[in-house]
Amino acid sequence: MVSDETTISLDDAVDLTRTGDLWLFRGRSGPDHAIRLLTNAPVNHVGMAVVLDDLPPMMWHAELGRSLPDLWTGTRHRGVQLHDLREAVLQWCGPYQQAAWMRQLTADISRDREDALLRTIARLDGTPFPPTAKLVSRWVQGRLRRRAPAEATYCAEVVAETYQAMGLLDDRRPTNYYDPGRFWSGDDLELLDGAVLGREVRVRVGGKMNP
C-alpha cells in the first residue's frame, strides 16, 4: 500500500489503482462548498475504481456532466456513469478545478465480487443525478435511516450500493445515508470480511496540485 504521507503522480496512481479503490475530490465552486458545508465533509465527490482483466482502469461514479463517454453504453449522458479513470480525473482536476486523492482498498476481490460489481453497473448505469433540492432531501432521509426512492442517485450512494453488493459494506444503513465525506479516512466506515481502506494519497495532475 502507498504511504498516507506520499504524493504521487496521476500516472503512478492509475498504475497502482485496483477495483474498489476510492477516488475523492474537493473543488472550489459554490455547489462544491455547499455539499461540504451541508455534510460537514472535507470532500464533495467520490468515485470507485474498476479494474478488470486487461481493460484500462475505469471510474464508476455519478455526476451532473456528460463531458466524457460512458463506457458501459458508449453514449454521453448525465447521472451514473462508467468512465476511463485517467480521463475522468483529468476532467475533474482540469475543467472542474478539483483536488484529487486516492484511497487504496485491501480486500479479496473474488470472481463473485466482480460479478456483483458488473450486475450493479448494469442496473445503475444511466440513473439520473438528482437536482440539488432532491439530493439534500435524499441525504436527510438517509440520516434518518429512511431509504429514498431509486429513481435518482448521487455519487456516494453509487459507491455505497456497489460496496454493499460486493459484500464489502453491510446494508444496515440505506445507501442515501452516505455522503462523500463518509468515505474519507476521518470517518468510521466499517468494512466487512477484513477489508481495509488506506489513508488518502494526494494525486498530482500535470505537475501541479489544485488547492
In order along its 211 residues, the chain shows pLDDT tens digits of: 444 457 999 999 999 999 999 999 998 877 766 777 766 678 999 999 999 999 999 999 999 899 999 999 999 999 999 999 999 999 999 999 999 999 999 999 999 999 999 999 999 999 998 776 666 677 677 766 777 666 688 899 999 999 999 999 999 999 989 999 999 987 679 999 999 999 999 999 986 566 5
Query: What is the spatial distance between Cα 166 and Cα 111, in angstroms, rounded to a whole number?
Result: 10
Residue among 47, 25, 30, 145 at smallest CA distance from 93 = 25
Q: Give the model's pLDDT for residue 129.
A: 84
| CATH code linked to domain 7-204 | 3.90.1720.10
Q: Give the model's pLDDT for residue 210.
A: 60
Supply the pTM of this predicted model.
0.90
